[in-house]
Homo-oligomer: A and B are copies of this chain.
């Protein structure tokens, strides 16, 4: 039997699974998770996992394999995953959380399937309409949290408000900050900007007595500045903003590379300037932000990017461990229930 904080891992999800998963755990145990007593239940095909684990001594020492030969394909539809997913490595990884064997599940598999199974197995917290996906967003001082980034395309004001509560609790659990600031993503910061839904969410967050540190509307450029900790938006806008930022970062990376290699002189100079460039590359590394968290369920599920490598997967494991080591689930239960009490006492009816 394992002791310490237990993470449940879908070893078969992701473009380069199970290799990057096992290597990711090994990397994590060597670095970020060195003294954290994390332990792992690894769900996957034993015949593929054993040779990999033979080369991963730290992982072997802190894990048990639960043999699961079946896998959900990366392009499976959520409906298919729900009908036929039972007994796959993804399903079992979530089931370990449901059954209390593990505190958090991590998968780099298909997002739609993972969300569908998570909802089915873990169910929503009382009062939550639908779960949200929260992403970490690099900024000048560290990371902000943006949600929803794709689970809910059309959101009403009530949902946006729930995201504020969920995101705030997530930020506190992850970064141990007492009163993280919350902003509502809009096309301008003036009170009158935005559509009816945004306006209603703004009004109710502004009037709330829950003690949230709500600072009002923020704009797209504020996300990267780090002046706000939690950015709330609907899943359509959040998904597009996140991917737009990724695209912009990739483009600038290419500009930098070509600028620094345009001629021999640049090449020599860039070589001599290696340490600075390496530092820059590290700060721009998208792998450090890997790991989207499903919020609003009776359990914590973390989605790693499907195309990530071992270092990226290790980064998702860091998030998983912080969440496992927090009071997140209890806290949101308390706040969500206060939120709904407030609604009833104020007789707020949101569009």
Contact = CB atoms under 8 A, between A and B. Distances in A.
Interface in A192-249: 194-195, 219-225, 233, 235-237, 239-249
Contacts of A283: 255, 259
A270 interface: yes
A5 B259 CA distance: 37
B284 A273 contact: no
A251 B277 contact: no
A240 B118 CA distance: 30
Contact of A224 (B187, B242, B247, B275): B247
B270 A276 contact: yes
Contact of A223 (B186, B195, B247): B247
A98 B279 CA distance: 55
A50 to B, nearest CB: 36
Interface residues of A, number: 56
Interface stretch (A19-27, A84-92, A260-268, A316-324): A260-268
Contacts of A185: 240
A273 B276 contact: no
B139 A251 contact: yes
Nearest to A277: B259
B249 A220 contact: no
Pick the 4 closest A-B CB pairs, nearest first: A220-B243, A221-B247, A259-B280, A220-B244
A276 B280 contact: no
Contacts of A259: 276-277, 279-280, 283
B247 A244 contact: no
A262 B280 CA distance: 10
Secondary structure of the A contact surface, majority rule: helix
A219 B245 CA distance: 11
Interface of A: 138-140, 150, 153-154, 185-187, 194-195, 219-225, 233, 235-237, 239-252, 254-256, 259-260, 262-263, 265-266, 269-270, 272-273, 275-277, 279-280, 283-284
A284 B270 contact: no
A251 to B, nearest CB: 4
A9 to B, nearest CB: 26
A84 B11 CA distance: 66
Contacts of A239: 187, 220
Given A236-B187, A280-B255, A280-B256, A244 B241 contact: yes
Given A225-B250, A260-B276, 19 more contacts: A138-B251, A140-B254, A153-B195, A187-B235, A187-B240, A220-B241, A220-B244, A221-B243, A224-B247, A224-B250, A224-B251, A225-B251, A241-B244, A244-B245, A248-B249, A259-B276, A259-B279, A263-B276, A269-B273
Contacts of A221: 243-244, 246-247, 250
A140 to B, nearest CB: 6
